[in-house]
């Protein structure tokens, strides 16, 4: 069989390992693998490359995707016919699409047009439903914790509180995990429930109790009551760019406390990093399961690790929504675990 693969949306660690494992598995059984560059843009433009494990090997254990990625929405741009023409031209029998809810939403549509498609969940945001983890999330948390923890002594030595902003779009998974893996005494997630006033009070109390400068984790997607951020930029799928909210929080914090904080926007650092062993294992599982499903004639599905078990769920179910933190859990369980 001739397999095709694309990697879409925001990149992360683990994707290159996924591509390597995919090539390795397919070669061992006499199948071919064609990679489409820059996600759906490469499918519209028929921009593809034949992949094999030898060429992919040097990319193992490195972040991002050697195929490149692009936030191209062929449904919105009315170019699904070009996508189908590229598949026909390249004689692709089945597609494996790796990405977040936007990439997999287009994959679900391609499946409904009758093409054999299997999706694989990947984004640092971990905001896809029906999977415990998305590929890249574990490494992103490790990146955030390693970088932030490396700054704590300097913050304390200079008696500077820190407000560290992390990515995650409108879900607080990355912020939550970062707060648990750092000495954060406060954490603001888009889902709530901690508001600015409580964050400020917690930081004051931490300083009073420990004598040390405090750390607050802020998710980029938080709403700040009474603060008008004006018209924010959107991407091809309508996602709003909210990065930089940490600076607004920092200004408000300084006015409220008289202490000018260090504002550290983690940004794209969280998309980098050497893939964690967990993510490499997830990449292997996702690659093998995607091939198994297609060889068994089961498509229109997304591979997943759900409740600790590798399985598959309908692509259409995944594409229809996002996975958010439970505000009740954040209020009752999480807050009391903070420093
Ligand atoms: O979806 C992954 C992500 O890193 C988000 O956390 C972030 O808000 C967004 O991508 C940034 O988008 P872009 O890569 O288009 O700058």
pLDDT one-digit tens code per residue, 145-202: 999 999 999 999 999 999 999 999 999 999 999 999 999 999 999 999 999 999 999 9
Nearest CA to ligand 1 atom 4: 10
pLDDT surpasses 90 at 212: yes
Q: What mean pLDDT is predicted for residues 73-101?
A: 98
- Please report whether residue 289 resides in a domain: yes
54 and 170, same domain (yes or no): no
Residue 220, in any domain of the structure: yes
Domain boundary among 249, 272, 295: 272
- Residue 331 placed within a domain: no
Verify that 160 and 211 share a domain, yes or no: yes
Residue 329, in any domain of the structure: no
Structural Rg of the chain based on CA atoms: 21
Residue 221 beta carbon below 6 angstroms from any ligand 1 atom: no
The structure tokens listed for 150 are 């490396």
**Helix segments in 225-276, DSSP class H:** 245-257
Q: Which atom of ligand 1 is nearest to the CA of 174?
A: 6
| Whole-angstrom distance, CA of residue 176 vs CA of residue 188 | 8
pLDDT on residue 216 = 98
111: domain range?
2-136+275-318
> pLDDT tens across 161-172, in order?
999 999 999 999
CA-CA distance, 280 to 217, in Å (whole number)?
Answer: 27
- Shared domain for 167 and 290, answered yes or no, is no
For a mutational test of ligand 1's pocket, the pick from 103, 125, 141, i.e. the residue with the most ligand atoms closer than 8 A to its C-beta, is 125
Task: Please indicate whether residue 167, judged by its CB atom, sits closer than 6 Å to ligand 1.
Answer: yes
Specify the residue with its C-alpha closest to ligand 1, atom 15. Answer: 10
pLDDT value for 228: 86
Query: Both 152 and 245 in a single domain?
Result: yes
> DSSP letter at 57?
G
pLDDT at position 41 over 80: yes
Q: Indicate which residue's Cα is closest to atom 11 of ligand 1.
A: 10
Classify residue 335: in a domain, yes or no: no
| Domain CATH code at residue 36 | 3.40.50.450
- How do residues 266-302 score in pLDDT, each as one tens digit? 999 999 999 999 999 999 999 999 999 999 999 999 9
Mean per-residue pLDDT for 256-266? 98
15 contact partners, CB below 8 Å, separation of at least 6: 7, 63, 64, 65, 98, 122, 135, 136, 283
100 lines ligand 1 (CB under 6 A): yes
- Retrieve residue 185's tokens: 């005494």
CB 136 less than 6 A from any atom of ligand 1? no
Atom 14 in ligand 1: residue holding the nearest Cα: 10
């Amino acid at each position: 069989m001739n397999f095709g693969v694309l990697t879409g949306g925001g990149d992360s660690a683990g994707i290159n390992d996924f591509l390597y494992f995919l090539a390795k598995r397919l070669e061992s059984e006499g199948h071919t693998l064609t990679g489409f560059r820059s996600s759906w843009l490469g499918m519209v433009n028929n921009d593809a490359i034949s992949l094999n494990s030898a060429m992919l090997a040097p990319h193992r254990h490195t972040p991002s995707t050697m195929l490149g990625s692009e936030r191209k929405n062929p449904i919105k741009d009315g170019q699904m016919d070009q996508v189908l023409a590229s598949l026909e031209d390249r004689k692709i029998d089945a597609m494996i699409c790796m990405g977040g809810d936007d990439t997999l939403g287009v994959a679900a549509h391609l499946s409904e047009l009758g093409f054999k498609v299997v999706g694989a969940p990947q984004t640092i945001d971990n905001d896809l439903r029906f999977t415990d983890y998305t590929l890249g999330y574990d490494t992103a948390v490790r990146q955030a914790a390693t970088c932030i923890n490396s700054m704590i002594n300097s913050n304390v030595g200079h008696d500077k509180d820190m407000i560290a902003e992390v990515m995650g779009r409108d879900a607080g998974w990355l912020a939550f995990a970062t707060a648990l893996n750092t000495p954060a005494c406060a954490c603001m997630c888009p889902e709530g429930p901690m508001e600015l006033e409580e964050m400020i009070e917690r930081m004051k109390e931490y300083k009073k109790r420990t004598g040390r400068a405090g750390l607050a984790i802020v998710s980029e997607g938080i709403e700040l009551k009474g603060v008008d951020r004006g018209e924010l930029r959107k991407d091809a799928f309508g996602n709003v760019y909210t990065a930089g909210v940490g600076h607004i929080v920092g200004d408000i914090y300084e006015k409220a406390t008289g202490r000018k904080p260090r504002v550290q926007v983690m940004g794209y650092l969280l998309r980098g990093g050497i893939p964690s062993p967990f993510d490499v294992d997830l990449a292997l599982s996702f690659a093998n399961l995607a091939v198994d499903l297609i060889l068994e004639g089961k498509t229109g599905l997304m591979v997943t690790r759900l409740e600790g078990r590798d399985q598959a769920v309908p692509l259409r179910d995944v594409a229809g929504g996002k996975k958010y933190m439970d505000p009740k859990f954040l209020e009752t369980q999480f807050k009391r675990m903070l420093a």
